[in-house]
Amino acid sequence: MSEQPEGLEQDRTAVELFAGGGGLAMGVQRAGFRPLLFNEFAKRACETLAINGEKPIPVDIEAAETEGDSDCLWIPGPGERPPLAVGDIRKVRFSYLEGKVDVLAGGPPCQPFSLGGIAKGDEDKRNMFPEMFRAIREMKPKAVICENVRGLLRPSFKPYFDYIVREMELPFEERGGDVLWQEHDEVLRRKLAEGTVDPAQRYQVVVTQVNAADYGVPQVRQRIIIVAFRADLNVDLEAFQYRVRPTHSEDALFQSMLDGTYWERHEVPAGVRKHVMARIPNTISRADRLQPWRTLRDAIRGIEENEGKPLPPIPPEFLDRRERNLGNVTDHIGWPGARIYAGHTPNELDRPAKTVKAGVHGVPGGESVMLLDDGTHRYMTVRETARVMTFPDSWRLEGPRGEQMRQLGNAVPVRLGEVFAKAVAETLRESEARG
């Protein structure tokens, strides 16, 4: 997580809220941003953050508050370990970071808005968007990156999502404790229509619907990415949007199968190839110049950091929950009990994996079951799942299997986070160059 690109023009800084297992944080750091602070509530996720990358120093926020030490956090210098504020974000004060943060990143808990959650939306106490806006007010970052589920765009939530966007545009127009969100939304609409808000207290917001597979992630994962730039920076929003356009496509994957380049990378039985090729539609675009979607087979073979490091197979007799030295990677452990039945179909090797969800091995829909070339099936290992989330094999996950899978399901794929963070960095750099 500490790797940063060469040739940085200045010391770029970042804060990561709702950091979880560290996917977005790693992507932001790979884009050249140095972490000043992490925050996470879940115990196991905090342990994961503390043993990887920058190895942030855990600080128990609630204990510090009890002891009267409200100034327990600090601003690390280059090369110094950042603090990890462990606990409820509502206990964290961010004003000490005012003017010091280039990008504030995080994915507020999605359960209030996801199909898998109880879908109470803004009435759900787990809705942490208000805390994200408070952090913006106290830090005044140059840019914000916020990831969440596409459930925010469901008709029942769309009015509230539009309100969230307007709050992101005018975070300093704070909502009172006894004010309905609909009433606050009217205030925001009026302020935006008047156009008189100080640009230093207003943000320009871009909402992008993404499928992670379109950005080189070997997984179909539908999300929204909200990016905001402080209005006084006068960034080129069109240039930013161009930088986050899709780079990979399904049609390009089909083309690579038809011309044989996909199969040249993999030793696949002839019968399996024939079955896969027979399902390629006749309507694919021959003019597609994007890169091919990456598949579960690609991930297991090794891509990017893991290139040329194929994960070894899990023999049937190894489905016994025991850690073995298979390829010198951790968490590549067989797990028994996988089943396939109606509505619970498995991942196919020559497609991107299904969306990794924040459940344990038995989540509905077969998201962690894979169909092998010999027609048998088994659960994906934690390490295979981490590869689908584009984590390097060096990234360790703390806790039992269920907790590890939950961290992965809640994470932002590293590569997806990196694409958007790099686009933010380039857009800020371009703005500064113009003066």
The residues, any chain, with a CB within 8 Å of residue 183's CB and separated by 6 or more, are none
Q: What is the DSSP string of 57-93?
A: EEEEHHHHHHTT-TT----PPTTSPPEEEES-GGG--
The residues, any chain, with a CB within 8 Å of residue 397's CB and separated by 6 or more, are 21, 48, 331, 382, 386, 403, 404, 407, 408
Going across the sheet that includes 369-371, the strands are 347-348, 369-371, 377-379
Distances from the Cα of 415 to the Cα of 23, 28, 30, 337, angstroms: 8, 10, 9, 31
Return the CA Rg of the chain. 22
The residues that bridge with 379 in the sheet, in sequence order, are: 369
CA 38 to chain centre: 15
Interhelix angle for 250-258 vs 270-278, to 10°? Answer: 130
- How many Cα atoms are found within 13 Å in the side-chain-facing hemisphere of 26? 23
CA distance linking residue 66 with residue 20, whole number of Å: 25
The residues that bridge with 224 in the sheet, in sequence order, are: 148, 209
CA distance linking residue 413 with residue 408, whole number of Å: 9
Catalytic residues, which ones? 110
How many CB atoms sit inside 10 A of residue 273's CB?
17
